Chains A and B, each alone.
Chain A
Amino acid sequence: MNPDASTIAAGAPIEVDLTPVAEGQDIKVFWRGKPIYISHRTKKQIDEARAVNVASLPDPQSDEARVKPGHEQWLVVIGICTHLGCIPIAHEGNYDGFFCPCHGSQYDSSGRIRQGPAPANLPVPPYQFVSDTKIQIG
């Protein structure tokens, strides 16, 4: 009962153009039926994400490890709450990041879990920059 061939084929990598996303904005694209948030972070958001003591986080991970070097302003995460799979809302909650309306999990501007029942950070999908303004997800 695992995914059939067509489902797997439809899950091939996609390319996303980043030019239209202004600073402080984000877009949501679908890949493999999952919403992917691509946010163009502001300086403030990046600084906030880097200022926290990594060891104190529920799921310790540094912001550097979650973005691509040289493209710190871009955060790409799978927008599926690691608790029970709802879609968190961007730009909400107390950490300048995401807020899940279902059971109240809050993620910071690096997509890391800060508060609530979710056990892990929002996962970063496999992606790379094909040019400065274009990424390939998958």
Chain B
Amino acid sequence: MSGPSDYQPSNPALQWIERRLPIIGLVHSSFVVYPTPRNLNYWWTFGAILSFMLGMQILTGVVLAMHYTPHADLAFKSVELIVRDVNYGWLLRNMHACGASMFFFAVYVHMLRGLYYGSYKEPREVLWILGVIIYLLMMATGFMGYVLPWGQMSFWGATVITNLFSAIPYVGESIVTLLWGGYSVGNPTLNRFFSLHYLLPFLIAGVVVLHVWALHVAGQNNPDGVEPKTEKDTVPFTPHATIKDGFGVACFLLLYAWFIFYMPNYLGDADNYIPANPGVTPPHIVPEWYYLPFYAILRSIPNKLAGVIGMFSAIIILCFLPWLDAAKTRSSKYRPLAKQFFWIFVAVCILLGYLGAQPPEGIYVIAGRVLTVCYFAYFLIVLPLLSRIETPRPVPNSISEAILAKGGKAVASVAIALVAAGALFLGSLQDARASEGSDRPPGNKWSFSGPFGKYDRGALQRGLKVYKEVCSSCHGLSYIAFRNLAEAGGPGYSVAQAAAFASDYKVKDGPNDAGDMFERPGRPADYFPSPFPNEQAARAANGGAAPPDLSLITKARSYGRGFPWFIFDFFTQYQEQGPDYVAAVLQGFEDKVPEGVTIPEGSYFNKYFPGHAIKMPKPLSDGQVTYDDGSPTTVAQYSKDVTTFLMWTAEPHMEARKRLGFQVFVFLIIFAGLMYFTKKKVWSDSH
């Protein structure tokens, strides 16, 4: 993209095209012969990783949009149907949802890299500002994408974020009405967000082209911050940079696949598995992890308008970075003070992220204020001051000199450091769910935990029996069809058995020719009928608290893991908060109410229920359901079985997910190894 190319293809057909549209020459000059500094380290592969992620998000997003229904009444269900019924829909959805997080993770690394090595300095100011614009567009896209599943967090996140604009004096309210297309967040809001969520990625792609263009005009910065002077300082982009980027992408894919196949809900919020309800605000609204530092800044300023201004200026300030930091030396490698402050700044951002996920009270508020001041001080005081008082170490004359001086430093630890840092930062979200004074549910040994976990067929069949005989009198299971009982990875019934099971149920159908509704026996394609015709009826029949649908209950419930557990969870693949909680609640009923706890009339004491007062009476008692396989008929066994069953209803394709995950990992490790050795060979003469 820099200057005309003198590339001449040898194939006459290509020559014919090239004379009319020199596109091959453009690619050739930009991505083949383009000189790239010889001393780039692996932090520079994040550019390629980000391009890859953008492509991935667009690709998976386009397919998801083919199956998604943007309507307030149907959106939640359509996402569930994607996961359950579309071929590899669970994979697409996980790739897209985790992909957003990985995209942001990579962009933060990319930005911090730029910050550390001074990549925003003359002559790369425009390049940097284009990057900030991409980041802003990404934030908007990510936010709107999070709204689309229309769960509780989607809805209330949308409410809180759109209300930010109401802080603008005079025109604020009308702007918010314009964003909503109504008097509150509702169906019109969902529709326009869907439209924009589809549009913005292509805008991002456009700005990325500008970003790459500007990069190829100014040339890449490098870890030593000295411009390449001679041929010796650079290597051609292909094969050197391409293969190195390829290896970087392969390593990144390993991390990405870890989330897709083993921890798909680690970064999400359990509340988003509850359909949006405009009448109930969740007790604790948390945005996605990548907004948390800014959310913390918003909350730590006690005035509404000032808080909103503070939050936005925390991002906008990045645009002015090239002029705030006037130091001549680019790379922090040669700036002893700047280097230390850089790492302090990184720590401040991570801590702000942690605080953003905490309840806004007490010590967290004060800490948030202190860190907000630190955040802005870094840009407004530290950087301008450092450029005046700091004496940098001498910078090498050229890149080749720098390489000779260095003499091969191992960078292999980078990947490990990345994983650890990422886990720490990302995991802070898990902490958001405060345990609210309830006891911690005890851990269980589940057959479905871990990378090779499988459902215990016997437990699924017994659990179904418990559900049918006990739970189903109050709780629905509306996302499960009878045919699911015969599907691979499920309770292991035959098609005929599932059909027989279905025919025991009466299903409402119609209208018939006479215009009347009628009842008929269930068919495999029918869904489990719900015990109540609507939510109001369910509420009225149960003392004001509607029994929740159980299809997703093990994913929609969780409890706070707290620091440092959420970090270990990342490595141990602990994902069973939901099942542990459900099993604990089923067994947590106690007749004797402990001292100091008052239980209102019509509620029951439960040790593990948040607030301890639960409307559901003790559902299970020993011997209530007969088992024909000789398993003990105890409350403990019932709870375990029905929880296993409900885990399956929440994720019927879990076995497929873990199985495919193993195959993908074997492939990726071999692939990354091959890439590494190819890269070594290609670079052998360049170091």
Binding site for B on A (CB under 8 A): 1-4, 7, 11, 28, 30, 32-35, 80, 82-87, 101-104, 117-119
Contacts and interface: CB of A to CB of B under 8 A. Distances in A.
A11 B181 CA distance: 13
A4 B304 contact: no
B601 interface: no
Interface string B265-305: 00000000000001111011100000000000001001111
Contacts of B159: 84-86
Interface in B624-676: none
Interface of B: 156, 159-160, 162-164, 166, 177-178, 180-186, 188, 192, 278-281, 283-285, 299, 302-305, 307, 360-361
Contacts of B183: 3, 7, 11, 32-34
Given A3-B180, A84-B164, 5 more contacts: A1-B178, A2-B177, A2-B181, A32-B184, A87-B281
A119 B299 CA distance: 13
Given A83-B304, A119-B303, A3 B182 contact: yes
Contacts of B163: 83-85
Nearest to B160: A84
Contacts of B182: 3, 7, 32-33
Contacts of A86: 156, 159-160, 281, 285
A86 B184 CA distance: 11
A3 B177 contact: yes
A87 B304 contact: no
Given A84-B159, A86-B160, A86-B285, A7 B279 contact: no
Contacts of A118: 304
A102 B182 CA distance: 23
**Residue among A3, A83, A86, A102 with max Cβ neighbours from chain B (10 Å):** A102
Nearest to A32: B183
Contacts of B285: 86, 102
B188 A7 contact: yes
A35 B182 CA distance: 14
B383 to A, nearest CB: 30
B303 A35 contact: no
A28 B178 CA distance: 26
A33 B160 contact: no
6 contacts: A4-B181, A34-B184, A80-B184, A84-B163, A104-B361, A117-B303
**Residue among A11, A82, A85, A119 with max Cβ neighbours from chain B (10 Å):** A85
A1 B176 CA distance: 11
B186 A33 contact: yes
B279 A85 contact: no
B302 A117 contact: yes
Contacts of A102: 160, 281, 285
A118 B160 CA distance: 12
B315 to A, nearest CB: 18
Nearest to A87: B281
A87 B178 contact: no
B178 to A, nearest CB: 5
B283 A101 contact: yes
Contacts of A82: 304
A117 B307 contact: yes
A79 to B, nearest CB: 9
A35 B285 CA distance: 18
Nearest to A35: B279
B262 to A, nearest CB: 32
B298 to A, nearest CB: 9
Which 6 pairs from chain A and chain B are nearest by CB? Answer: A33-B184, A32-B183, A85-B163, A86-B281, A84-B160, A84-B163
A100 to B, nearest CB: 8
B350 to A, nearest CB: 22
A123 to B, nearest CB: 11
Contacts of A34: 183-184
A102 to B, nearest CB: 5
Nearest to A33: B184
Contacts of A85: 159-160, 162-163, 166
A59 to B, nearest CB: 12
B275 to A, nearest CB: 16
Contacts of B302: 117
B57 to A, nearest CB: 25
Nearest to B284: A101
Contacts of A101: 281, 283-284
Contact of B181 (A1, A35, A87, A103): A1
Nearest to A120: B304
**Residue among A32, A86, A118 with max Cβ neighbours from chain B (10 Å):** A86
A35 B281 CA distance: 11
A4 B183 CA distance: 11
A117 B283 contact: no
Contacts of B184: 32-34, 80
Contacts of A104: 360-361
B187 to A, nearest CB: 9
A3 B188 contact: yes
Nearest to B180: A3
A28 B279 CA distance: 9
B188 A117 contact: no
Nearest to B179: A1
A87 B280 contact: yes
A84 B687 CA distance: 56
A33 to B, nearest CB: 4
**Residue among B181, B279, B281, B360 with max Cβ neighbours from chain A (10 Å):** B281
Nearest to B158: A85
Contacts of A80: 184
A102 B302 CA distance: 13
Contacts of B283: 101
Contacts of A30: 278-279
Contacts of A87: 279-281
Contacts of B188: 3-4, 7
A34 B284 CA distance: 20
Nearest to A2: B178
A32 B188 CA distance: 13
A83 B283 CA distance: 16
A28 B277 CA distance: 14
B281 A7 contact: no
A3 B178 CA distance: 7
A86 to B, nearest CB: 4
A32 B183 CA distance: 6
A118 B304 CA distance: 7
Contacts of B160: 84-86, 102
A134 to B, nearest CB: 22
Nearest to A86: B281
Contacts of B307: 117
A7 B177 CA distance: 12
A103 B177 contact: no
A2 B189 CA distance: 11
A87 B276 CA distance: 14
A103 B299 contact: yes
Nearest to A88: B281
A119 B279 CA distance: 22
Contacts of B186: 33
Contacts of B361: 104
B625 to A, nearest CB: 38
A87 B281 CA distance: 6
